[in-house]
Structure 1
Amino acid sequence: MTSDVCCPRCKEPETPMHTFFFCEFARKVWAEIPLKHTVHIAVDETFKTAITWFRKAICLPPVGVTTNIMPWTCWMIWKERNTLIFEGKSRTPEEIAAKALGLAREWKQAQQIQQTKGKKIPSYRQDQRSQQDLIECRTDAAWDKGQRKAGLAWIFTGLQNPAQDQGHTTQDFVNSPLIAEALAVRLSLCMAATMKLSKLRVCSDSLTLIAAINNKQQMKEIVGIVRDIQEISSEFDFIVFSHIPRKNNERADSLAKQALRAASV
């Protein structure tokens, strides 16, 4: 790719930096990647410099990407460029960003499966002596099949700072209610770790999810998220995952539905 070639979208001279970062389409793709801090790349910088900058870039939860997102995003931008040139087809920046995040998650899951192959995933047991100062976290999710969108909610009980006792958000491109429930648990653990909580009881009204986390059964559609949950769990001094009846989780359920309704307006 040289400067003698024009960008198929904006007709500007095409260079690696233009294609992957400065073209208006590429900018819109990067705007959809939920980075903790925006990576600012100057026009006169090289692709090698961009790689260095992105080594420190972190994706915000709950997308489930803890590895470098740059290779996957650039790969999808490049594939989209070629699809436009050779097939005359084009997708939206939102679709390209979602695909890049999906590829990054799949790669991470593949590495985890390889690393844990032949090893028993640790279980989380209840210990009455460890339950002093235990914080309870109840999670729930609301799912919209048509929009493939989910509302995620979590509620902490027993915090010294009540201002942090609950939260909610939405997640796009969610393919099932079980995935939504798993995302809610994973996000609540991220929040608990950020708050430096040490002893936690995580409650969900999804019996299937709790069984998967506790290694009683494995579900293919959430295996990657469950491994994330178990990995994050190692940050706590004590943690237990419990199933609660739906009627006892109405507050978290209401919060998740509220988040979903607000995002659908």
Structure 2
Amino acid sequence: METNDHIFLSCPFAKATWFGSTLSFIVPAQDDPKIRLWLQNWDRISFLNKRICEETLSLCLFTCWFLWIARNDLIFKKKNWTPIEVSQAALCAFEEFGEANGYYVTSTNSNSNQQYQAPSHWIPPHSGECKINCDAAFDPDSARGGLGVIARMSSRSQSFAISSPAFFGIVGTGEALAIRLGLLHSIQEGITNARFEYDCEIIISFMKEQSQTMPFEVQLVIHDIVLSTQFIVCNFYFIPREANVIAHSLARKALSMSVETAWPNFIPWLHPLCVNAALCQFTQ
């Protein structure tokens, strides 16, 4: 019978995951490691300060959780994870947890605090990750709104691009609707490792602190977004408008539409924008 100790520590897959993670932990080979004893002796490990101790323990627990997910996926879904995929998923979930609780996590590879810096231009996502840029546009003269979403993989290839007309009273609602639209299409495409980016800073504040006073219509949409459980990894980031130009163009296109439109990559006006966005990182 397979034990928790084997799944989390002693099996070769777990050992490779721990060693390949940012923790670079080497599971002792001479003994039969026990997860219970490891946690009981945690206080004996020397750390620079209490915060690093707490964050390291948190990352270890996320790693155990994703080792458990990987094992269940293998048994019940015949899906194979690699050790690096497990460690990356655990790290992303750990960082998302830190951001959601209002603090910036400390890098496990250095003693300095690192804060996420929004890029000034679009950059490709990490390997195995899909980046979904979202935006909303509103025309006060016609009282029409539009949503724009584009998803791209690390190869810079387009996964999907959507323009969708919408009706909303305030721009904040439109921005939240654009994120929800991106979530829905990502789920339809089977995307499980997603990074959502948008240029409305107030939305990320609402998502982090739902106790804040916000319009009721925004609150309903934010509630839908936060409750989404279809992803293994799902992170949300604020970026400046310059890094979100394609999503904005898609949203502007939607202002003159009556139905939602999925754009193929070879559309003349869209393809050059994607190419320029992918290449601009080399010219900054």
TM value normalised by structure 2: 0.44
